[in-house]
Structure 1
Amino acid sequence: MKKLLLVLSSVLLITACAPEVGTKAWCEQLEKKPKGDWTANEAKDYAKHCIFKSDDDK
């Protein structure tokens, strides 16, 4: 039971540190990642938020 709690808390801490999708930090982080490793959602979000910045991304 202790191992399960340790794993779950570790996962929560790691994911909580990731920058929010669409932020400048997220765009920079994704630019450093090899494009072959991007998911389809990451590619779509990168195009939407980092290349074609929409009015609601201000």
Structure 2
Amino acid sequence: MFESVMWLIVVAGGPLLLVALLAYVVVTRRRRGPAERRESDRATDRLYRQDKN
């Protein structure tokens, strides 16, 4: 009996956990807007310029 319950948990729970994790990543992923990208590029350029000196 215990073996069949464990098998059910592994077979059904694994994919459900994976789907839940993928859904969480898709929902929480945020894209940067144009202004944020420009600011990030400027900061990167400043860091590279400082590193050369």
Q: Report the TM-score when normalising by structure 1.
A: 0.31
Greater relative contact order structure (CA < 8 Å, 6+ sep): 1
Which protein has the larger Cα radius of gyration, Structure 1 or Structure 2? 2
Q: Which has the higher helix share?
A: 2
